Amino acid sequence: MTLVIGGAYQGKLDYVLENNPGKTVFHCDAENPKMDLSMDIINSMHLMILAQIRAEIDTMVYLHEKLPELKNKTLISDDISCGIVPIDSEMRKWREVTGRSLALLSKNSDGIIRVFCGIESRIK
């Protein structure tokens, strides 16, 4: 598994597609709490986590169950851990769960790449 992280609009998906031509992409959104694991690339995982919070799904349990299926995937997520802590409790929970999820995925990944302004920095 490869995890690609970075701020919003920093070119993460473009970077992944340039380096993985022909791979299929599933785009997560804030309405769907599940991933399509038939795809090679899972984009915007942070939005799926928000959907899971709203659907009262335990993201950590979900990800632990899916780890074997994520082995050969590229996962993309915004890093939402920086900046001012949100006042809204749902947004605080989203930030916390996303951080914990990225830590779990990082621990189990073969590579971690941070993309800033379209430029990669290999972390692992």
Helix (H) or strand (E) holding 105: helix 89-108
Q: Can you tell me the distance from the alpha carbon of 66 to that of 109, in angstroms, rounded to the nearest whole number? A: 13
Q: pLDDT (tens digit, 9 = 90+) per residue, 38-56? A: 999 999 999 999 999 999 9
For the residues 49-72, what does the mean pLDDT come to?
Answer: 97
The DSSP annotation for 52-70 comes to HHHTT--HHHHHHHHHHHH
For residue 82, what pLDDT is reported? Answer: 85
Q: pLDDT (tens digit, 9 = 90+) per residue, 8-30? A: 999 999 999 999 999 999 999 99
Domains and CATH numbers, the chain: 2-82+94-122 (3.40.50.300)
**What are the φ/ψ torsions at residue 56 (nearest 5 degrees)?**
60, 40
Contacts for 20-25: CB closer than 8 Å, 24+ residues apart:
20/74, 23/74
